[in-house]
A and B are shown apart, each in its own frame.
Chain A
Amino acid sequence: MAFPETHERETRTLLSRHMGEEEARTLDGWRERGGYGALEKALEMEPDEIVTTVKESGLRGRGGAGFPTGVKWSFMPEKGDDPHYLACNADESEPGAFKDRELMRWTPHLLIEGCVIAARAIQAEHVYVYVRGEFFEVIRILNRAVTDAYEAGYLGEDILGSGWGCDLTVHVGAGAYIAGEETGMLSSIADGRAEPRIKPPFPAQSGLFGDPTTVNNVETLSSVPMILDNGADWYRQWGSDDSPGTKLWCCSGHLNRPGNYELELGMPLKDIIHDVCGGVPEGRQVRAVFPGGSSTPILSRDELDCETTYEGLSEAGSALGTASPIVMDESTCIVRAMRRVAHFYAHESCGQCVQCREGTAWVTKILERIERGGGEMEDLDTLYDLCEQMTGKTICVLADSVVFPLESSLDKFRDEYEAHIKHDRCTATA
């Protein structure tokens, strides 16, 4: 399987260094590349020291919310009689995101190593890796790697003779986007429906099976070994103060070179689009971008100067999310694009909260009608109203995931909606 060439501005030295190398998947190949060295180091450290190092590195969660990882770990209570768990979120389902799959396909041992280090840091005796059910290849690769890691003593009762150990289970999900929300995932692992629950209590207080649990994303955990290997300062040489390090960017849509790119945090969005990804095909212009996946507020062509850090995208009125820019050129009908996005979230709503269950579906129906021809100007007011009532009132943020892109598209592309309503068809792409 070929892997795309490295772009000159890529920092393909860290997370994605061994992507594309078949042997890196095997235990021997991984060891030859220095694999499990960080784990050996971690086994000689006190759990607190590991937490401190990760805290100092400034690593932020790559699952979407960007919460500082070391800080999250420090929320775990002191280890008592109750078991502690680490749950690795490998349910990657956000439209636009495809980085975790690549990490697991190419470097499964990197994830395992990160999991074991994190488990030691939070004193977990069991790690669950919750993999999206449709990732057949990944599941096969991961299972293989886990078996090998057990055999080699990187997993199990007494890891590398340290006297400390932990187990790791690959848990295959059943195909629901909402299983990626952390409390929904924990419920799914424990044989329940993938339904988020109200917080508090947070997973660190009451998580898997009611015990203290930390949930981390695949990319987050895969970033841990290099931080332990090289130290927090080393990691901070990339990115900004608030967004240190590098990150995988899943670039899709109307691009000449879509794909996964490991980039230093902070590159202007327009450079990612035009330079790294080779711009938009056939000389067309960008119309809009969902910069962090389909749940982030839409940016118009004039807003692409922003820096791709957590803070930079937030200042631009959007969010880094899963760092998955979906680029749409002039051939894209915004109404149609929004209808597709809304439909996705309506389909994936777990259905507990009235605002989300009914709101996402209602919004979708209105957008469908506008798209079909049959919209009315009042529909736009209704959409704004519904957005208002779907924001910040539900158990999880899935409802907000429709509101962010929808409301921003209404603000920024109102003329397109209006034209659509007036002419009962899309005029922008005609």
Chain B
Amino acid sequence: KEMTVRDALNSALDEEMSADPKVFIMGEEVGEYQGAYKITKGLLDKYGPERVRDTPITEAGFTGIGVGAAYYGLKPVVEFMTFNFSMQAIDHIINSAAKSNYMSAGQISVPIVFRGPNGAAAGVGAQHSQCYASWYASVPGLKVLTPYSSEDARGLLKAAIRDPDPVVFLENELLYGESFPVSAEILDSSFCLPIGKAKIEREGKDVTITAFSKMVGYALQAAEILSKEGISVEVINLRSIRPLDRAAINASVRKTNRLVTLEEGFPQHGVGAEICASVVEESFAYLDAPVERIAGADVPMPYAANLERMAVPQIEDIVRAVKRVCYRSVPLAATA
């Protein structure tokens, strides 16, 4: 059986709202409009306007209200129409949500989920195309989850809603319509994935690629191409950017001895940079080649289709980098 990421998210929300009356959703167009991307479709009819709360376009205000409701013991799911707009509310995510449990020595916990599409969409220009994974993942007190498949979407969203801490849940607009196979176990309402654990999406022995969200699909496609050339790629779907599954990453690198990090976000101080540092710290002696980073270009997102394509990682970029770390791309003349 197959399920779209959109339906996976929708069913996870539905089931968690049904299981716990403290769970409510708020955000722009989540109710009567049925969700800007239809993730909340049908929920207003089922749970009513008290629990499916349309807000004005005022992120700082409604995010603060969501965090305050979480202080009080409710379990809000705050939808950002896209994570670009969360910049209007980042103070509440970081100063009000992430730090309160620590500052209060455990008195004020903040069981809240901030969710919505993150990263580059298509043709929407610089202000609507940015990955915030490394921004939020640098903050202690937050958990940052990045689903790729329908399994991830269901299991991680349910884990996020049930979690007692603030969770930033970064979806991807371009994945919403994609279908993935789902088992009976995944479809069961008790299904949940562990926070902080990566998934080996494809096993391999020559090189490790770490990826999250949409880039997991790209890594899998690159791995398929590379397998035809005799390179066996292990693809790690990070799932959780914070906590980061350093153990799984390092174990894989110790096996393959080579690493390419892959992400859509800006390269500087990115998720790849942190993974690279972790591998240098923990597994330096196991590396047979320098770590390579494939990331978004170090520029604001351009609009023109040809430039936009150059600004985000493409499968050929991944293939090229893997060949470099495997010393397959060195010109014969140079080795002679």
A and B physically associate: no
**Contact residues of A with B, CB < 8 Å?**
none
**Contact residues of B with A, CB < 8 Å?**
none
